[in-house]
């Protein structure tokens, strides 16, 4: 886990806290990549069960460079 909750700016907007990103070659389809992103996982519940939702006012983006140059197009 790599939560950044203690950072001052993200502490103000917890639903935008991206914690982990996983990328791997898709099982059974080696010409594609699967991306999995976590947002606010392992949040300690005050009373449960809690079901966290994406923020309606947050733009979640993952940029992928298909040729490895790191330039966004």
For residue 13, name the pLDDT band (cuts at 50, 70, 90).
confident
User: pLDDT tens for residues 18-62?
Assistant: 778 899 999 999 999 999 988 776 666 565 566 667 888 888 888
What is d(CA 66, CA 10) in angstroms, rounded to the nearest whole number? 29
pTM of the model: 0.60
The structural domains of the chain, with segments of one domain joined by +, span 1-62
Contact assessment for residue 22 and residue 4, using Cβ atoms and an 8 Å cutoff? no
- Listed in sequence order, the residues at least 6 apart from 19 whose beta carbon sits closer than 8 Å to its beta carbon are 1, 2, 3, 4, 38, 39, 40, 41
For residue 1, name the pLDDT band (cuts at 50, 70, 90).
very low
């Amino acid at each position: 886990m790599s939560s950044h909750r203690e950072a001052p700016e993200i502490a103000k907007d917890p639903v935008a806290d991206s914690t982990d990103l996983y990328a791997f070659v898709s099982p059974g389809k080696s010409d594609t990549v699967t991306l999995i992103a976590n947002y606010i996982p392992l949040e300690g519940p005050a009373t449960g069960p809690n079901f966290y939702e994406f923020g309606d006012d947050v733009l979640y983006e993952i940029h992928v460079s298909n040729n490895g140059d790191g330039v966004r197009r």
